[in-house]
Structure 1
Amino acid sequence: MEKISVFAPATVANVACGFDIFGFAVDSPGDVVELTRRDTPGVRITDIIGDGGRLPREAARNTAGISIQRFLQHIDRTDIGVDVLLTKQMPLGSGLGSSAASAVAGVFAINELLGRPLQTIELLPFAMEGERIACGSAHADNVGPSLLGGFVVVRSYSPLDVIKLDTPAGMFATLVHPDIEVNTKDARFILKNEVSLKNAITQMGNVAGLVAGLLKPDYDLISRSMVDVIIEPVRSILIPQFGEVKQAALDSGALGCSISGSGPSMFALCRDLATAERVGQAMQQAFLAVGITSEAYVSEINRQGPRVIG
């Protein structure tokens, strides 16, 4: 194989109560990486479409590029040469796992191009290196679901232990990205280093409840458990109109609504497509009430992860 194109999906991390341990993938949006074999060894970024010139073209500083480099080093194939064309199909700094999608698409594509020397789950550490480049932390709550599909739990980082959970059939996600930007590093900086015992107990109960609700499945339990008493109260101040947008989603039938990743995007989980579309419209209207335009995406939970598209 001399050329391959791979799509990797956007993701929602944290999922309200699960800071740095929960994430799920959606069908759209996502990023596309096209790899082409070349005779000269090394990884070269030939172009990036859709980033407005903001992302680094140097492979070692690019999320897709560094993930491919680390993969080739691991399998001892640094003699391989590839050109990388990256197409960004979601906003940068959106809280939708943009850097994760690029990293996952890149490492999944090179593994396919070389005949799958590694299992899909074994690609996770290389994609995490892309996250380290992007935000300084090699977290897995975006790359995990983007790579594996579905709803993912990061039980441990040392050793790395990632579990994919079943999700109820027919459950939809609504993502709304307001036209503002929140820097991931800033969103982490404002978090407190310590939490009260009361809040820790409440949060643990909601984490357990959300997992149980997904597995049973029990929509009412999912709804009751999508409550974040630790992270959301702090980060929500970075998103204008947050409270009103969340209430609009709940009033329109959402099971729950919170910040997607570090924001500014917000997400809602819904029982069906009609509800998800209605929720998206209500959330957009709430943002528009204070003059903030937004993009909305509605899709089922993506259970496949990345896919070869060419």
Structure 2
Amino acid sequence: MESIRVYAPATVANVACGFDIFGFAVNHPGDEVVLTKSSTPGIRINEITGDDGRLPKDVLKNTAGIAIMKYLEHIGQPDQGFELSLHKDMPLGSGLGSSAASAVAGVFAANELMGKPLSQKELLPFAMEGERVACGSAHADNVGPSLLGGFVIIRSYDPLDIIQIPTPSDLYASIVHPQIEVNTKDARRILEREITLHKTITQMGNVAGLVAGLLLPDYQLIGRSLVDVIIEPARAILIPQFDVVKAAALEAGALGCSISGSGPSLFALSKGKETATRVAAAMAAGFHQVGIGTEEYVSEINQQGPMIR
């Protein structure tokens, strides 16, 4: 192949109790990259759409560009030329892994065009370099599920240890993005640097409970475990109507509801698409009460990751 079009999905990171260690992929929204081989050395970003002109075309500052560059260096082909077009199909700064999806789509596309010398999982470190450019930290809780699909646990960064676990077939996510923006760096700055032993024990119990609930599967256990006593209380103050929207989700039948990534998007998990659709509408209505517009998405857990279009 000389050219390829790849779509990479949005993700929900943290998943309530799992700060920086949990993430799952959804079917939509997502980002799309069109990558074409070139006889001229170097990577050129020709077009970015859907970003209102906010993203850089400088390869060293663009998450897709830097991911591809690091990948080419690793496989010993630093002079391979590529022409890249990027379409952003999700809001920037939404807490849905926008930067991660671009990096994943880019490096997955490059690997396909180079004859797949690396496995999908081996592409993870290069996608993580895109995250370093975006927010200063090469974290994997968004790029992991976007690249691999499904529900992902980041057990360790040194060495990098990523585990995929199965999810119940009838588990659906409702995601509501209010039309406000929360900067990831700001959302990390407000977090406590030290936490009490009591909070640590509570959080560890919820982390273990959520994993067990997904594996059994036990929907009620999933719901009881979607509780964050450490990160959510600090970040909730950055999101208008947070308490109202969360209460609306639970009243509409959600198993649990929390902040997606660093926000401002909120997610809820439900049993069944019908319930998840009702939950999304209830969450959106909570924001609309104070005149905040929203985008809503309802999706099963995406098990595939990036796909060729």
TM-score (norm 1): 0.99
Correspondence for 2:154? 154
1:173 CA displacement: 0.5
1:90-119 per-residue CA deviation (whole Å, 9 max, x = no partner) reads: 000000000000000000000011110000
Correspondence for 1:128? 128
Equivalent residue of 2:281, what SS?
helix
Correspondence for 2:220? 220
Correspondence for 2:19? 19
Equivalent residue of 1:96, what SS?
coil
Correspondence for 1:250? 250
Correspondence for 1:206? 206
1:176 CA displacement: 0.2
Correspondence for 1:30? 30
Equivalent residue of 1:176, what SS?
strand
1:231-276 per-residue CA deviation (whole Å, 9 max, x = no partner) reads: 0000000000000000000000001000000000000001011001
Task: Give the partner amino acid of 1:290.
Answer: V
Query: Gaps spanning 5+ residues in structure 2: where?
Result: none
Q: Does 1:41 align with 2:45?
A: no
Q: Does 1:7 align with 2:24?
A: no
Structure-to-structure mapping, 1:64-83, within 5 angstroms: 64-83=64-83
TM-score (norm 2): 1.00
Correspondence for 2:265? 265
Correspondence for 1:113? 113
Task: Give the partner amino acid of 2:204.
Answer: M
Correspondence for 1:197? 197
1:179 CA displacement: 0.4
- Within 1, Cα distance between the matches of 2:113 and 2:247? 46
Q: Which runs of 4+ in 1 moved over 3 A?
A: none
1:79 CA displacement: 2.2
- Within 2, Cα distance between the matches of 1:229 and 1:180? 24
Task: Give the partner amino acid of 2:305.
Answer: G
Equivalent residue of 2:26, what SS?
strand
- Within 1, Cα distance between the matches of 2:106 and 2:165? 24
Equivalent residue of 1:94, what SS?
coil
Correspondence for 1:295? 295
Query: Gaps spanning 5+ residues in structure 1: where?
Result: none
Q: Does 1:97 align with 2:80?
A: no
Correspondence for 1:179? 179
- Within 1, Cα distance between the matches of 2:38 and 2:22? 38
Equivalent residue of 1:4, what SS?
strand
- Within 1, Cα distance between the matches of 2:209 and 2:65? 38
- Within 2, Cα distance between the matches of 1:79 and 1:87? 25
1:170 CA displacement: 1.8
- Within 2, Cα distance between the matches of 1:291 and 1:37? 46
- Within 2, Cα distance between the matches of 1:98 and 1:33? 13
Correspondence for 1:280? 280
Task: Give the partner amino acid of 1:141.
Answer: D
1:290 CA displacement: 1.1
1:193 CA displacement: 0.5
1:78 CA displacement: 1.2
Equivalent residue of 1:34, what SS?
strand
Aligned-CA RMSD value = 0.4
Equivalent residue of 2:25, what SS?
strand
Task: Give the partner amino acid of 2:299.
Answer: S
Equivalent residue of 1:132, what SS?
helix
- Within 2, Cα distance between the matches of 1:63 and 1:56? 9
- Within 2, Cα distance between the matches of 1:79 and 1:198? 54
Aligned residue-pair number: 309
- Within 1, Cα distance between the matches of 2:53 and 2:6? 22
